[in-house]
Structure 1
Amino acid sequence: MFEVLVFVYENYYADEGYPEPAHLQRKLSAVGFEADEIEEAMAWLNGLSTASRGARPVPEALPTVPADPWVRLPLASSVRIYPQYEQNHLGPQCLGFISFLESNGVLPAHMREVVIDRAMAAPGSPVALDDLKTIILMVFWSFGLEPDALVLDELCDNPSDRVAH
């Protein structure tokens, strides 16, 4: 599924969105992806669209007003407590990376919730760090944002290719 998501991101991120689902399915099939991978990725993308539409920041003055029934959006000052099932599915590497992005002001609380939602919908347990990075890129894209160059480098770069200075 993640190969499909990477393909979609690489080929459509500049277009401010991916094409209609039927057209995208035909394109993915023509490129050579398997039907089950395409279906899984399309379901995941549909969930991303739903989650990002519902995740709008709540003004500090209105903390009890949910933007959508799927989640109560956190305040910027909220502390996220991960239940055991999320800890198990995400694993320590992914939880640490999410915390790193949050603490550096790169991943706002409302986007963090979408990242967690989509990571929980991803296959595999624990989720691989590279897969989480793809999820984060897709979430930024769904909000119409692009991370700054250093963050983009962290999300796209392979750490084993880096040379220590």
Structure 2
Amino acid sequence: MFEVLVFVYENYWRGDACPEPEQLGRKLTAHGFEPDEIRDALQWLDGLTVATQGIQLTRHVDETTATVGLRGTGEAALPQAADSMRVYSATEQDHLGADCLGFISFLETANVLSPGLREIVVERAMAAPGDPVALDELKIIVLMVHWSTGIEPDALVLDELCDGREGRVAH
């Protein structure tokens, strides 16, 4: 499934540029992906669309950073307090694993994931196969959430999400 998601990410510059599921399925079949992979990826993408549907992007700017937040269009969303903490359920901890939870925390600390985006990432990661989800797969999920919402991560974050750790030299 993740190979299909990478193909979609690389070939459609934004979520709204992606063709309808039926047409996308035909294109993926033409590129040689297996029917099961295509079905799983299309279901996952459908869930991503539902998760991000009706989300209005708002920009919160304070004196030190500019962060992107999400607000549902139908209800008032309260911003997360600076001293609040996300507690993961035992099921989430088991499915995501320590590496993924640590990476999500890193992305939040780096202001790459707002609390709203984090919740979408966690929800989509819970819908992904694997127990626990591999870190490289979580990175693809984060990219797909940004892709779907039209938020482009900065170059350094994009490098961290796209580049594997193999072959890296510590400085």
What TM-score do you get using the length of structure 2 for normalisation?
0.84
Unaligned runs of 5+ in 1: 59-65
**Which of the numbers 61, 85, 96 marks the counterpart of 1:90?**
96
Q: 1:5-84 maps to which residues of 2 (within 5 A)?
A: 5-13=5-13, 16-56=16-56, 67=72, 75-77=79-81, 78-84=84-90
Letter in 2 for 1:125: D
Would you say the 8 A contact 2:28–2:38 is kept in 1?
yes
Q: SS of 2:12's equivalent?
A: helix
Which runs of structure 1 show a deviation greater than 4 angstroms over 4 or more consecutive aligned residues? 54-58
**Which of the numbers 123, 126, 129 marks the counterpart of 1:117?**
123
Q: CA deviation at 1:57?
A: 6.7
The alpha-carbon distance between structure 1 residues 126 and 73, as it changes in their structure 2 partners (threshold 3 A), is farther
Unaligned runs of 5+ in 2: 59-70
Q: C-alpha root-mean-square deviation of aligned residues, in Å?
A: 2.4
Q: CA deviation at 1:105?
A: 1.0
Letter in 1 for 2:116: H
Would you say the 8 A contact 2:48–2:145 is kept in 1?
yes
What TM-score do you get using the length of structure 1 for normalisation?
0.86
Greater fraction of residues in helix = 1
CA distance, structure 1, for counterparts of residue 78 and residue 116 of structure 2: 6
Identical positions, percent: 59
Q: CA deviation at 1:86?
A: 0.3
Greater fraction of residues in strand = 2
Q: SS of 2:33's equivalent?
A: coil
